[in-house]
Amino acid sequence: MAEIDVIVSVDEGRLHDFAKIVKAMRSAGLKVDEEMAAVGVVAGSVESNALPKLRQVDGVAQVEQSRSYNLAPPHSDVQ
């Protein structure tokens, strides 16, 4: 399966359990790149087939696939 980058939001009412929830995310297959406890967000990657398990972690509010985009250089013909 392909690994995808994700942004995971922790339920606002569960921020006091942030470390415990991140540990459970890791057990569900998340490879954590960055933890932002103050805002309840975790960035990382996970195998696509593990997404349902990650979404079921108690305290997870939302799992979104990271998106990226490329802009043409400022002086290119495509604007």
Distances (CA, A) of 39 to 8, 36, 69: 11, 6, 24
Burial of 75 (0-12, 13-18, 19+ CB in 10 A): exposed
Higher pLDDT, 3 or 73: 3
pLDDT digits (tens, 9 = 90+) for 64-77: 998 777 777 888 77
The residue with tokens 């490329």 is: 70
> Of how many residues is the chain composed?
79
Average of per-residue pLDDT across 59-63:
97
Q: What digits encode the pLDDT tens for the residues 7-57?
A: 999 999 999 999 999 999 999 999 999 999 999 999 999 999 999 999 999
Classify domain 3-65 by CATH number: 3.30.70.80
Which H or E run contains 14? none
Q: How many CA atoms lie within 13 A of 69 on its CB side?
A: 2
The full set of domain ranges for the chain reads 3-65
Bridge partners (DSSP) listed for residue 5? 45
